[in-house]
Each structure stands twice: as C-alpha cells, then as structure tokens.
Structure 1
C-alpha cells in the first residue's frame, strides 16, 4: 500500500531571513505564496512472486462434488506446505448450480490456492507440480515491503532536496531576500506489480508439468513532494 506522510512546517529555512509568522487570527492577505511540486522515481527489480491456482470441478451430486474438491485441495495444500519458503493460503470457494431448461442438472465448484514467495525457482517448480490437478489463474510480481521502504526513503530524501532546489530557483527569479516554508506533503506511488501470466486456465495434466517460464521484471516506485513557500 502506498504510504502518505503530511508535514506542516512552521519553522523558517535557516539560510534565509526570518520574518515573524502570522498568527491564526491574522487575516492579512498573502500575495507572495507559491505552490509547486517535484517528483523522483526509480525502476526497482521485483522480488516477490504471487500465484493464484484454481481448482474447478463439476458433478450432478452436490455432496460428491464437495468431497472431490475438498480432497483435491487438501492434497494440494499438503504438497505446498511441504515447501517452507512459500507462503500458502486458500482463496475464494464457490459452488453453484448449472441449469438446463430451468432445472438443476449438475453442480459446479471452484476454489483458489494462493502462493507467495521470493524464491522464484522454488515457486515455479511447485506450480508445475500442482498443475496435475489445478490450473494457473494468474502469476504476478511485486516489490517486497522491506525493499519498497528502503527505496522510498531514498527517493523521499532526493525529492526533498529537489524541492529545496526548486524553492531557491523561485526565490532567485523573483529576487526575493528569502522564503518561508508554509507546508509540504509527501506522497509515494503505488508501484503496481507487473502481471506476467494471466488467463492460463489450462486443463489438468496427467503428471507434473514443467515449471512455467518466468521473468519478474521491474516496478516503478515514485515519490511526489508538493508544498507552498512564501517569498520574503
């Protein structure tokens, strides 16, 4: 999730002349306040992989269908949990009737198995193994929270430096003695994960499939700093 930090700064930038700050009751019009923003971004290698596998089945008997889905998913969970480097959890589980001429003819069910990890080779091998009974719904990549935090901290520092440089440029262009920082906000971008494989609802295979070909790619992380200065 993107982080949002808002700072309200009432102190003056120390390298410039200091004016007496206005109080809350001061209604004096301000004509020399300027708002602007800067942005810094960087491509970052994705280091997390997220896979969704689907189990879909149908039967004319709802109880028999539920038993089939539950047994198959239980086996898939045991196989996945045998690999401690991979985070495993189940997703949505739905059962619904299939009608023909306004009558229920059979039942259909689907359940998701969600896999996450940073060892792409290990996760790819597991997916190939599970494709004996499950189908790949999607595979996505993203930047891990720890790497995101590190990169965003670096980008925040760069963006704040760029903001101060832009403020100094504005001051010089208006031949002002100095400026006061009225407010500043810092916003981080989403860095959306890159979808690499979708719509792979292949038929279940008779044996373990070869691991899928994977390329993690990159995500663009960005920081936007916007604020207002008051020229002195």
Structure 2
C-alpha cells in the first residue's frame, strides 16, 4: 500500500520577559492526519503490434488495426484515449536485418472501471494489454489533501495549547510554519508478465476482472 505524504511542521514558542530582553522556549511540534482512499482512476496501456519481413505492409496493418481500436472506443465516452509511441524496429539475425516489428501504443484513462473492463474484452483481438495501473485522480488527491490538512492543523493547535498549559504560559506564538505536499506514488503498473489472467479473460471477449485497491494518504 503506497502513501501520499504531506509535511506540516512548525516552531512553537512561549515568551518570557527577562531584563528587557525577550527569551523563548523553542519547541518543535508536528501533527499527523491520514486516511485510506479508494483508487478512482485506471490507466491502461495497449499495444498494437505486428512482425514480419515487409515494414511498409506491417505499418499499414498496424494503422488499420489502431483505427479499429479507436473506432471501438467511440462507444465508451467516459474513456479517454491517446495514441503515443509509434515504433518500427528491425530484428537482427547474424548481424543482418531478418524482419521488422511495428508497434503503436495507445494509453487509456478512465474512472469508469466497468466500462474499461468491458472495452478491454471487446478489443481483445485487436490489441494487447501492456500494463494496467490503478491510481488516485488529481482531483481526489487535491480534495484529500485539503481535508487532511485541515485535520492536521487542528491537531497541531490542540497539541500547542496543551503544551502551553503544561508550561504554565499565558500563550504561544507560531514563528515558522512550512507545508510540504510531498509526492504521490501510485501503485506500480501490472506489467505484461503479470496479466495472464486478464489475457485469458479477454480472449473470450469477456470483461476483464479488475480490483482497484486503495492508497493511504497522510498529512504530517
């Protein structure tokens, strides 16, 4: 289970006036809030691939098959599609080109897991699944950040008030506060070697079984 980490730290001081000079008791203080959030977005990477001796013919076949996939996608308006890497690669044997491999990559993104599952089944004979990756959408990360930041700040204040009371001081002053939103690391993509069960499902045009899982988001 991956974590999104946000840093919230500050210096809490109470003030005491001695001989016309200000002296402070400096206390480092932090607070933490966290929650588990269900992944709400799926990224799928597809590849249309052909191998053979005629590179021009292979390119035509890949282009034709890619067009079929994109045409199929018209029935799924909630799935965002984008063609990316297009590669023509020579295959060598005995230091000579023996054949060619042409590959077109298509990236899919959607919050509708049922639609994505069905689509992957529908295009089973057109493209291979290269990887699947569940993650939190940008909007979900931002909303969770804001909620947890509010919670962490309240915990920070509660701790500060408690420490102030324990030191018997009339108040405290916050002199430095920093917030580091950290980095979000989604779950690792399921690579081709991990997708045997998915491939077995799509060969029969059945929906692919998908489990989104969750991520733990924390603010410290």
Q: Which TM-score bucket, shorter chain as reference?
A: 0.7 to 0.9
C-alpha contact 2:16 2:23 (8 A) present in aligned 1: no
- Residues 66-85 of structure 1 aligned to structure 2 (within 5 Å): 66-85=59-78
Structure 1: distance between partners of 2:138 and 2:16: 40
Please give the per-residue CA displacement for 1:181-219, whole angstroms capped at 9, x wherever unaligned: 111122335453335743237889996521111111111
Match of 1:109 in 2: 102
Match of 2:214 in 1: 218
C-alpha contact 1:52 1:136 (8 A) present in aligned 2: yes
- Residues 53-72 of structure 1 aligned to structure 2 (within 5 Å): 53-72=46-65
Please give the per-residue CA displacement for 1:158-192, whole angstroms capped at 9, x wherever unaligned: 10011112223333444444321111122335453
Gaps of 5+ in 2: none
- Given candidates 164, 175, 188, the residue that maps to 1:171 is 164
- Residues 47-196 of structure 1 aligned to structure 2 (within 5 Å): 47-195=40-188
C-alpha contact 1:189 1:223 (8 A) present in aligned 2: no
Quote the RMSD (CA, aligned, Å): 3.5
User: How many aligned residue pairs are there?
Assistant: 211
TM-score, normalising length: structure 1:
0.76
Cα distance, 1:47 vs. partner? Answer: 1.6
